[in-house]
Amino acid sequence: MCLPSLSCASHGVLMDLIYEIPDKIKVAWESSVRAVVDQWSGLAMVTVSDFRTAILEIGLPHAIAHGGRAYIVDNSAAMGGFSLAVQDFIADEVFPAFAKAGIKYFIIVPSAESPLANMSALKYEARLGPFGIEGVAAPSLVAAVAWLQEQASRDPGPGK
């Protein structure tokens, strides 16, 4: 288990853990691709308050402060699905905040165990379009990071 502010490896990717709600989410920073990585586990237990804290109060401000350009949602260990209230919160508040902050990519790594988690992710991913955020599916966290590295080589962004 990694402690906040320490580097830790997950699925072969070295990241800095910045926040955790045990049995629900780990929020990490992958500096090489300037991405926040949300690693979800118990989706059905996540409240709107949990989601707001992890994403809008901790993850997104960290991304803004460090020139973030992507969010990776790693559902590979996720079970269940987000409540309708959380899904609406994502569409109504999170995606507009991402767009305002300059997040360009939203990458989802599907659950290996839960079709319900995958259906939940597809439902909110479908609402990305109006915000100008590119939605991408990746088979693994390693593949998501590799895809972002490829994008960075094509468009390094400001200051690069």
Distance of alpha carbon 59 from alpha carbon 156, whole angstroms: 21
Residue 3 counted as domain residue: no
What pTM, to 2 d.p., does this model score? Answer: 0.86
Residue 117 counted as domain residue: yes
Number of structural domains, the chain? 1
Run of H or E including 114: none
CA 156-92-113 angle, 5° bins: 75
Residue 1 counted as domain residue: no
Residue 67 counted as domain residue: yes
Q: How many residues does the chain have?
A: 160
For the domain that residue 142 is a member of, what is the CATH number?
3.30.750.24
Helix (H, G, I), strand (E, B) or coil at 39: strand
Residue 159 counted as domain residue: no
Residue 2 counted as domain residue: no
Look at 11 and 148; give whichever has higher pLDDT.
148
Tokens of 121: 């992710």
Full residue range of the structural domain in which residue 16 is found: 9-154
Q: Is the Cα torsion angle 37, 125, 114, 87 positive or negative in sign?
A: positive
What pLDDT, in 10s, does the model give residues 96-137? 999 999 999 999 999 888 877 877 777 767 777 778 899 999
* pLDDT higher than threshold 90 for residue 10: no
Bin 21: left if φ > 0, else alpha if -120 < ψ < 50, else beta.
beta
Residue 4 counted as domain residue: no
What pLDDT, in 10s, does the model give residues 30-75? 999 999 999 999 989 999 999 999 999 999 999 999 999 999 999 9
- Amino acid letter, 92: D
User: 18 and 47 in contact (C-beta within 8 Å)?
Assistant: no
Residue 160 counted as domain residue: no
